[in-house]
Chains A and B, each alone.
Chain A
Amino acid sequence: MRVVAADTCFLFHLHQVGRLSVLGQLDGFCFVIPGEVHEEFVRPKSKALVAEALKEGWITLNSIEGVDELLLRKELIALKIGKGEAACLTLAVSRGWSVVSDDEERRFIREAESRIGPERIISSPDVVLMAVRRGLIPVEEADRFPAVWEANNYAVDFASFSEMLG
């Protein structure tokens, strides 16, 4: 089982394309949010969204515990990484998990790459592509996602998932 610490942006990106539920269908993967990420859902609609995901078992909630993890989280926050991001990376480093990041070329991804290596970092497009390959999302539907994300301030560097299936 591959455990992935997921942040707020990742959950929103899947929600924006109406496919948050796919997280519960990906055999071999378990998506976890730390309490810090859970707290970032403050609007009633967002709260309802994450509550549904937890209730349906698409994601689970976990907590940073113990001095070693607390010190690591403190160190990451001191590097000016957000609390939610720092919590995800702490869990990934400490427990051998993977982490999701949708913010390429920026501070967090550099820190994550140096601490857990690029192979343990995945993106929203990775998850969608995997779901397409497994027949959980039709590729025609997935090809509409980049435009939706673009409209929500998230630009991807490819035109369609079809071309990625090659």
Chain B
Amino acid sequence: MPLTNEILARRLKEARIAVGVSQAQAAEVLGISRPAISQIETGDRKVGSLELDKLASLYGRLSGDLLEEEFDPDESLLAAFRAVGAQSLEWNVQQAVIDRCRKIAKATRELEEALDIGPPLGRGGVGHFGTAPTENTWQAIQQGENAAILERRRLGLGQAPVPDLVDLLEAQGILTATLNLPEGVDGLTLILPDGPFVAINRQEPTLPRRRFSLAHEYGHVILDARVRASVTHRDFQDDVREKRANRFAAAFLLPEEGVVDLLTSVGKPPRSNTSSVMEGGHVYSMRNTNPASDTEIQPHDVVHLSHYFGASHLAVLYRLKSLAYLSEQNLQKLMSARESGVLKKLSSAFFDEENEAAPSASTPDRFHRRFLALLLEALRRDEISLGHATDYAVLVGFDSKDFHGVVQTSGVAPMKGRIRNPHLGE
């Protein structure tokens, strides 16, 4: 059936109701009255294109979705997002995050397709373990640990550090991006029809923490493949899915045998009599909670592990606790060392601390550099108009004027004009 104004009006109402947005909220976003929204939804008032864009975004969709031949009101990513516990985020923040990330994913895929190039390293297919959702923390943590072991095995990583997580994820078919996300949001995962999309927050100042966030989202892709949208927010840390993804990230970045080998090589062999206990909602293996002083983990061991595996000091500390290298008392002692800056000082004294610092949020990073290169090449081949390229550049955070300067400098798409109608107006 061809789309009519009446059908579009009905779809807008269904889409709004599907995500629990009130007419008053929709009216506020559009800057119009609530009765005007009502009129749009009854077909008594035509919806403008910008209004459609804003409403679609508000309802967790692309505006084009509402104009497709087929329409399913329950297909909203925003609804999926809320279903996994994102209610505590402001609704407009949810909407903004989902909308922007979905558009960036679409833009990147579109550019790759326009240039007829494979994604970086030729994206393959990610290994899904399809683990059933669990409400049991113990099971969730075991699932995370096991999934990491299996995934490392599948990828042939052995016990070595993960060399480059972005390359690795992209090679598994996962589109990755570092974006300026709202405060408190560490990352998010979208399972889209053309593949998973993972974004982490550029506001995170250190590379090891970014790596952990990326590994955490990788865990969501693998373990929560049926959840179309997941957000990692500091307020959701008690959610079992988050705990599971955290454990996946820790075990993926810091494989148990690798940690044991490294510590053994510096005179800190593992202890025997491992058992597992649950403590304050966390599951820990117990090797020895009262290690001898000569094998006790020291701040320099934490820094060594952190540097070797590219994991943050905090991630190493929790991993060592979960592997029973640390008692609660040891953990607190090392946490104090971290808080007082001892670990950081050690890092700069013995390791290259510069490697720890991520580019500032305003500095183009790897994702942005590749995106820009794709844009320039698409422009050069005339696969995309300058206006479209500018829309995309702005979408990922470039200033439009700066982008035009880059286009000009690169010489890929010089803007040329001429007299087209010499007798115009005569």
Contact = CB atoms under 8 A, between A and B. Distances in A.
Nearest to B51: A63
A123 B419 CA distance: 7
A81 B49 contact: no
Interface in B396-412: 400-401, 404-405, 407-408
A36 B47 contact: no
B156 interface: no
Contacts of A43: 401
B425 A26 contact: yes
B418 A106 contact: no
Interface stretch (B15-23, B265-273, B387-395): B387-395
Interface residues of A, number: 64
A125 B5 contact: no
A157 B387 contact: no
A129 B424 contact: yes
Contacts of A53: none
A154 to B, nearest CB: 5
B417 A124 contact: yes
Interface stretch (B314-322, B364-372, B377-385): B377-385
Q: Which of B5, B416, B420 has the most CB of A within 10 A?
A: B420
B414 interface: yes
A82 B415 contact: no
Contacts of B390: 40, 82
Contacts of B50: 35-36, 39, 63
A81 B67 contact: no
B4 to A, nearest CB: 6
A154 B382 contact: no
A122 interface: yes
B416 A80 contact: no
B48 A130 contact: no
B426 interface: yes
Contacts, number: 155
Given A26-B425, A121-B420, A164-B419, A63 B404 contact: no
B385 A102 contact: no
Interface in A16-31: 26, 28-29
B37 interface: no
B422 interface: yes
Contacts of A154: 415-417
Contacts of A134: 425
A74 B424 contact: no
B387 A82 contact: yes
Given A65-B49, A104-B417, A83 B426 contact: no
Interface string B44-56: 0011111010000
B415 A102 contact: yes
Contacts of A47: none
B420 A123 contact: yes
Contacts of A107: 382-385
B418 A133 contact: no
Interface string A111-148: 00000001101111111011001100000000000000
Given A81-B385, A164-B419, A70 B52 contact: yes
Nearest to A157: B418
A47 to B, nearest CB: 13
Contact of A73 (B49, B382, B387, B422): B49
7 contacts: A39-B50, A74-B64, A80-B110, A125-B420, A126-B420, A153-B407, A157-B418
Interface of B: 3-5, 7-8, 46-50, 52, 63-64, 67, 110, 114, 378, 382-391, 400-401, 404-405, 407-408, 413-422, 424-426
Given A130-B425, A153-B408, 18 more contacts: A8-B387, A26-B425, A63-B49, A66-B5, A67-B8, A69-B49, A82-B388, A82-B391, A87-B49, A103-B415, A107-B382, A129-B424, A130-B424, A133-B425, A133-B426, A154-B415, A154-B417, A155-B415
Interface of A: 2, 7-9, 13, 26, 28-29, 34-36, 39-40, 42-43, 63-67, 69-71, 73-74, 77-78, 80-87, 90, 102-108, 118-119, 121-127, 129-130, 133-134, 149, 153-158, 164
